Amino acid sequence: EPEVTQTPSHQVTQMGQEVILRCVPISNHLYFYWYRQILGQKVEFLVSFYNNEISEKSEIFDDQFSVERPDGSNFTLKIRSTKLEDSAMYFCASSGWPDSSGYTFGSGTRLTVV
């Protein structure tokens, strides 16, 4: 069964450093998403991406965040200057449809900012 692959599984970074979280969506999917889950809290939508541009973003997704699909296969989330409160599990997802009916989530990257 096709999978969404996220790397690394765990990343530790110092406050103020830039991090890039990587995702390889399912190959024929067209819609891509990032979510995050702070420990003990609910899963929160960050951003959706379609046709090489952001479709929708949440208020969490401020100027410190950016997404990119640099080469037609990878989908990345960049945090320019990490803060302690960015520590969370970040999930990538992809879908062949815009309505969540065909969502597949990756297994997540646990980001720890120290």
Residue ranges that bind other proteins, judged by CB under 8 A? 31, 33, 35, 41-45, 48, 50, 55-56, 91, 95, 97-101, 103-108
H/E/C letters for each residue in 38-77?
Answer: CCCCCEEEEEEEECCEEEEECCCCCCCEEEECCCCCCEEE
Taking the least distance from each CB to other proteins, the nearer of 74 and 105 is 105
3-state secondary structure of 108: coil
Taking the least distance from each CB to other proteins, the nearer of 55 and 81 is 55
Kindly state the smallest distance separating residue 50's Cβ from other proteins, in Å: 6
Taking the least distance from each CB to other proteins, the nearer of 18 and 56 is 56
Structure tokens at 10: 């765990």
Kindly state the smallest distance separating residue 24's Cβ from other proteins, in Å: 14
Whether the bond between 8 and the residue before it is cis, its omega within 30 degrees of 0, is: yes
